[in-house]
Chains A and B, each alone.
Chain A
Amino acid sequence: MGLECSSQELHVLAVDDSLVDRKVIERLLKISCCKVTAVESGRRALQYLGLDGERSSVGFDELKVNLIMTDYSMPGMTGYELLKKIKGSSKLREIPVVIMSSENVLARIDRCLEEGAEDFLVKPVKLSDV
């Protein structure tokens, strides 16, 4: 692709239970000059963001996440539930959250946008979406 990445790379936290999807999203974001951290569940995402009560050993600044992209349908904690937790936290609510779903359900989209999601992407995610 030959894009020149500036030193101000966005750090994106990608959350998806599918390893296939994580690999593709990671690649999409890297081509678009983003630093990517990919995790497999909402719980792990909250751990990474330091929101689960446990103290992370690394300073918060180093982990600074600029954008969260999460799958909607995940076992345990859905993307919607993760969105609510993030928007409910004074520490994290400023971080934009994008929801991805392989299903185009209007009620689902509305609910996510109402809860404060920045955007709702229908999977499969393409380079043009990113």
Chain B
Amino acid sequence: MLGFRVERLWADMTGLLALLFHQGVLDEQFLELQQLQDESSPNFVLEVFNIYFHEAEKLLRSLRSLLVDGEFSDYKKMRIHLNLLIGSSSTIGAKRIRNVCIVFRTASDQNNKIGCLRALELLEYEYCYLKNKLHELFQIEQQRILAAAIRE
């Protein structure tokens, strides 16, 4: 029974990953990160993602504030934030987020407030989706490790 559970969890995990790849949410850079995880750094991927979530949330809040608060938007500052988010999103393999940021950046270069607002909303949506799916993925992984340990 426990053996079945481990196999089932493994299938869930690979299924979810396949979905995320298929949807273009993640790209192969995510797999490159997995390569950096080993016995000497067993939680590496999780640690990197936690830093990313923390950094991204701060940037998203700041971007919203720059666009919505006050009459004039500081597009230069927005560009600095977006460059940072583009870089770290591509480092972790968050392909869709990266692409939305690039669209956002183009709109900010054109001082296009409406375009920026639309891009921001899409970015917030994509971010929530990624975060939820990755939490699901990490949870399944944890359960799988636990079930495998119990089986042994």
Contact = CB atoms under 8 A, between A and B. Distances in A.
Interface residues of B, number: 23
A19 B83 contact: no
Given A18-B84, A28-B36, A23 B51 contact: yes
B36 A18 contact: no
Contacts of B15: none
A75 B88 CA distance: 15
Contact of A18 (B29, B41, B47, B55): B55
A102 B87 CA distance: 6
B35 A21 contact: no
Q: Tell me the interface secondary structure of chain B in the complex.
A: helix
A103 B56 CA distance: 20
A106 interface: no
Nearest to B41: A27
B80 A75 contact: yes
Main secondary structure of the interface of A (DSSP, over half): loop
A32 to B, nearest CB: 11
Q: Which 7 A-B pairs have the closest CB atoms?
A: A20-B88, A18-B88, A124-B29, A124-B91, A73-B83, A27-B36, A20-B52
Interface of B: 29, 32-33, 35-36, 38, 41, 44, 47-48, 51-52, 55, 80, 83-84, 86-88, 90-93
Given A17-B84, A20-B52, A27-B36, 10 more contacts: A18-B55, A18-B84, A19-B88, A24-B92, A27-B44, A73-B83, A123-B90, A123-B91, A125-B91, A127-B32
Interface of A: 1, 16-21, 23-24, 27-28, 31, 71, 73, 75, 102, 123-127
